[in-house]
Structure 1
Amino acid sequence: MSDPRLTPDPARMMQSEPAQVCVPLTDLMRQPGGPRDRQLLLGADVTLMDAQGSWAYVQAQADGYCGYVERHHLAAALAITHRIIAPATHAYLDADIKSADRTSLSHGSRVAATGQSDGFIETAHGHIPRQHLAPVDSLHDDPAEVAALFIGTPYLWGGNSRWGIDCSGLVQAACAACGLICPGDSDLQEGALGSEVTDDSPPQRNDLLFWKGHVALVYDAQTLIHANAHAMATVFEPLQDAIDRIAQADGPVTSHRRLAVSPPRG
């Protein structure tokens, strides 16, 4: 049976046009106005398959997730040049940190540069500090380092941004920054990411531990980093404490997987 999260609804496949998210953040929903499944950040590429009234049915190009977004949150695709690498940033009216901030953008947002001036990259959304940007094709090599940028971010079911994120959203953000294709939900991630560790070797940095409905990233041999409803935030937690706590509520670890990433620096 096909997964409706990843399989477009044949009744909604009226067209196939490229489009792009043109707002800082939008919810991807199961039905128009329905519950949030995931979120899409500024600059996310989608395929527009149907548009009726104020809603658009799309498939996200990064992970294949299907759903509805508000139609006015989409625009024609721009040639993306940079991505946000800070936890979050402001886009200013002028190339001046004392000018009005026009909007805030989360880590992972993608923008098209229209110019450069005085330490800022100019975009249609405003002037963004150069320190907060990297070329769109540049990659990190340490998912755990990226995940740590989200420490303190409020927990949000289906969230994918610095304003709110869940366990699978955190893993997806960390993997995406390192060029790893990553599904949006933990059950899909468990079947797609890395290789299973079956020899009882201890967890190491950038391993993934899965439970029913949850995933966490190993930060070091004694510590996990994960977005979780227990803390209602992205936090560091002692690895064994987390295993014991989650086992009482949701059961044991269901798998231990190892990402294929470069060895951590230093």
Structure 2
Amino acid sequence: MKLAATKVPVSTVWTSPDAPRDIDAPATAAQPDVAAWAKSMDTETRLGLHGRTLTQLLFAEPVLVRSERDGWSEIVAPWQPSSQDELGYPGWVPSSHLGELPESATDPVAIDVPSASLLAEPDGPEMAELSFATVLASIEHADGYTRVATPDGGSGWLADAALRAVVEPSAADDRLRLGELFLGLEYLWGGTCAYGLDCSGLIHTVGRVLGLRTPRDAHDQAAALANIPLDEARPGDLYFFAQDGKPIHHVGFVSAEGMLHASETGKRLENGPLTDERRATLVAAARF
């Protein structure tokens, strides 16, 4: 295996090199346009992602490459813990999306706004538009900007107003505030970026911004986090849902209104009361 890093803003992870459809070409292009891809899909097309997409990698996210064939790389993503593999979340990405790990640096920072421009210089031309929850190592600070290490030995600048120090302490209110940035965003199976989130992707990405190592999938999140009695859950905790005798299939942030969550394909991220159907399948709660 070899170490690599994602060198595009968002790389979608697929079940196999044969999984993408013609309509998925914007997501698998050498320079993917995930925003355009998400915008192009109606509900039926999004439902077709089930069994095709698994998760997404963000810019500079490290991966372990297990094998390569026909322009694709079999990877595991160590920043996304999974019961499927002790090394991280497994899947396939276009090899063109991967580059060399950024040079070592300190003081990781995370993008805590929906998206931010990576600039060649402070107030200079844009190199890329990066998604919420992108984590980068900082090199220096100057005049309201931070220079960060990028893949393949490069660097760029981000406005400090778009960043949060990963080591900065956080509270329950921070989790809800960050999740609410995406109210109205359409659900995307396997989504972990500003252009689409699924239920566990919301929890995982918010946790990443706050320096919390959270598994990628809902059932793994329930297993890894400290379970609490349902009647002790408070805003910022998590609710988990399952059908009788089946694994956990849904998760959301407990909120004063009820639950902040990415509901399901065809719906949008919302914050509101639990429906009777949700209450009937509510099986556990957990706390970070």
- Relative to the length of structure 1, the TM-score reads 0.78
**Whole-angstrom CA distance in 1 between matches of 2:13 and 2:212:** 21
Percent identity of paired positions between Structure 1 and Structure 2: 25
Partner SS, residue 57 of structure 2:
strand
- The residue identity in structure 1 corresponding to 2:131 is S
Q: After TM superposition, give the deviation of residue 171 of structure 1 in Å.
A: 0.9
Matched residue, 2:34: none
- Check if 1:108 corresponds to 2:127: no
The match for 2:55 among 23, 34, 38 is 38
| 1:256 paired to 2:281 | no
For the pair 1:85 / 2:70, whether they are aligned, the reply is no
Q: CA deviation at 1:147?
A: 1.8
Structure with greater helix percent: 2
Distance (Å, rounded) in 2 between the aligned partners of 1:110 and 1:177 = 7
Counterpart mapping for 1:6-155 below 5 A: 16-34=1-19, 35-62=52-79, 63=81, 64-78=88-102, 79=104, 81-96=108-123, 100-113=125-138, 115-123=140-148, 124=154, 126-142=156-172, 143-155=175-187
User: Alignment RMSD, CA only?
Assistant: 2.4
The residue aligned with 2:263 is 228
Aligned-pair distance for 1:230?
7.0
Aligned counterpart, 1:10: none
Quick one: structure 1 residues 201 and 114, their matched pair in 2 at CA, closer, same or farther if it must change by over 3 Å? closer
Distance 1:21 1:186, change over 3 A: same
C-alpha distance in structure 1 between counterparts of 2:170 and 2:183, whole Å: 18
Aligned to 1:192: 224
Give yes or no for contact 2:222–2:286 (8 Å, CA) kept in 1: no
- For the Cα contact (< 8 Å) 2:188–2:198, is it kept in 1? yes
SS of corresponding position for 2:275: helix
TM-superposed CA distance for 1:141, in Å, is 3.0
Q: Is the 8 A contact 1:103 1:125 kept in 2?
A: no
Is this contact kept in 1: 2:166–2:211, CA < 8 A?
Answer: no
What is the number of residues matched between the two proteins? Answer: 233
Structure 1 residues 245 and 108 mapped into 2: Cα distance closer, same or farther (>3 Å)? same
C-alpha distance in 2 between matches for 1:193 and 1:89: 30
Residue type of the alignment partner of 2:5: Q
Q: Which moved more, 1:43-52 or 1:141-150?
A: 141-150
In 2, Cα distance between the equivalents of 1:225 and 1:59? 29
- Distance in 2 separating the partners of 1:122 and 1:173: 22
Q: Is the 8 A contact 1:193 1:257 kept in 2?
A: no
The more displaced of 211-220 and 19-28 is: 211-220
The answer to whether the 8 Å contact 2:133/2:205 transfers is yes
Residues 38-92 of structure 1: CA distance to partner in whole angstroms, max 9, x if unpaired? 1111121111111223111111111211011111111111135432122221223
Is the Cα–Cα contact under 8 Å of residues 226 and 287 in structure 2 kept in the other structure?
Answer: yes
Letter in 2 for 1:89: A
Q: Aligned match of 2:231 in 193, 198, 201?
A: 201
Alignment correspondent of 2:275: 243
Give, in angstroms, the shift of residue 154 of structure 1: 2.3
TM-score (norm 2): 0.72
Deviation at 1:102, TM superposition (A): 3.1
